[in-house]
Structure 1
Amino acid sequence: MKTSSPLVTVVVPSYNQAKFLEDALRSIEAQKVATEIFVMDGGSTDGSVGIIRNWESKLAGWRSHKDGGQAAAINEGIARGTAPYVCWLNSDDLLLPGGLDKLVAAMEHHPAWPAAYGKALHLDDSSGRRTPAWVEPFSERRLAVRCVITQPASLIRRTAWTALGGLDSTLKMALDYDLWWRLYRYGGPLGFVDEDIAINRNHDATKTRIHRRLHYKEAMETVRRHHGHVPLKWWLAQPYAVWWKTLIR
């Protein structure tokens, strides 16, 4: 049973995602742990506001207007909350039943962890097929080679979030990857929970599909800034990930 005092601030950044928004909200509301949900809508024109208004009684707050982008919206929403743990769920992603509960339990058991994350599934929106996301236990060496953390399956201690000032709002693509590095430098390795936590939905309108070049550019700059150099893997994989995948879309 949910307690009256929220344990997790969940921010849902959204822009013209009416097709997915209600499913995301339902997946949060279904968690057993008490949450406070803030929807930060960027001024949608597709019916999203109507969905948000229908959910208003279950939300801690919402707004809909043009903003400074995803990172700024998430920072704004989390600043409005008070819960000891924070996270965000993009409006096209989903929490699995009990996923958030498992992360909270792990963080309560490991008070030194600045954040925790678990496993996730990729959902292909066109076929409905689910496949495991590439997630690994935390290590700096592996994080320098690829992002081994899937954002929808993560939870952050508010004290760590506040100490770091939240997300870097100058980033458009690698904002979560940069945050994992900063959390690690601040509080040590992030905790890994070997359980399925969330679903990362893949569809043609995702930022990573539309802006592959910028994604790789920001990711490589992030590795260089926090790790000191860019491993060879990034240079070898870049032509396939950026140019070839763009051609075969």
Structure 2
Amino acid sequence: MPSFNQGRFLNQALTSIFEQDLPLEVFVVDGGSTDNSLEVISQWEHRLAGYRSHKDDGQAAAINEGISRGSAKYVCWLNSDDWFLPGALARMVKAAEAMPEASMVYGRCWNHHQNGGKRRPVWVEPFSERRLALRCIISQPATLIRRSAWDRVGGVDPSLQMTMDYDLWWRLYKRVGAPEFIEDFVAVNRVHEATKTSNNRRLHYKEAINLVRRHHGRVPLKWWLAQPYSVWWKSIIR
């Protein structure tokens, strides 16, 4: 779990992990928070496989660090403002065990809007390269990755700030095998004013377009048509 100054959400995220019906290795990789994060972490220290808190090289580097410290057969990361639904990890492990050729499995996810509490489904769908080139059809909190596949691709790319997950899905697909989709809702993605996606839409689109070009060979027209609305108009009406 990468985290930085998310103390107001951290307890819910950790609670959702430790309520799963599985033995787990959980590492909290904190970027030197100055809020109440360390107080929350200390309440869970007896359940954690480890934690640290100091300035680091960013979210992607923290994710790689945390996962490298474990040894479990399956890996994932949960951002500290998101949470798992009950039984989520057990359902994904069961699916992964039934599909040993899959590099990862993923399920459905809710977007929970912090202001107003509205909950809507994230756009998630069964995997195909054509659809992945049009949009990110996999929601990161709702994923479980085979460690052997993670090690083969070298984890997430620390040079990316906004799209390290989207890039990872492409590399897992190209180098290991296609992800497998399960219909279950397994996680909740919290939407709030401090998320990177809300505050840096221009960089998000720039990174996404570059990686689609790199992995798919061309950029579908949809990206150029959607960019004005997603980057400029959404920034105005937030």
How many Å separate the matches in 1 of 2:4 and 2:234? 25
What's the TM-score, normalizing by structure 2?
0.99
**1:125 aligns to what?**
114
**2:8 aligns to what?**
19
Aligned positions of 1:142-161 closer than 5 A: 142-161=131-150
Q: CA deviation at 1:126?
A: 1.2
Are 1:58 and 2:58 matched, yes or no?
Answer: no
Are 1:178 and 2:154 matched, yes or no?
Answer: no
| CA displacement, residues 203-245 of structure 1 (integer Å, 9 cap, x when unaligned) | 0000000010000000001100100010000000000000110
| CA displacement, residues 115-143 of structure 1 (integer Å, 9 cap, x when unaligned) | 01000001011111111110000000000
Q: CA deviation at 1:186?
A: 1.3
- SS in structure 2 opposite 1:35? coil
**1:221 aligns to what?**
210
**Structure 1 residue ranges (4+ consecutive) displaced by more than 4 angstroms after TM superposition:** none
**1:110 aligns to what?**
99
How many Å separate the matches in 1 of 2:32 and 2:58? 11
Are 1:202 and 2:172 matched, yes or no?
Answer: no
How many Å separate the matches in 2 of 1:216 and 1:143? 15
**1:92 aligns to what?**
81
1:245 pairs with 230, 234, 238, which one?
234
Q: Percent identity?
A: 61
| CA displacement, residues 6-64 of structure 1 (integer Å, 9 cap, x when unaligned) | xxxxxx10000001000000000000021110000000000101111111000000000
Q: CA deviation at 1:163?
A: 0.8
How many Å separate the matches in 1 of 2:96 and 2:23? 15
2:179 pairs with 153, 175, 190, which one?
190
What's the TM-score, normalizing by structure 1?
0.95
Aligned positions of 1:158-173 closer than 5 A: 158-173=147-162
The residue identity in structure 1 corresponding to 2:144 is L
- SS in structure 1 opposite 2:26? strand
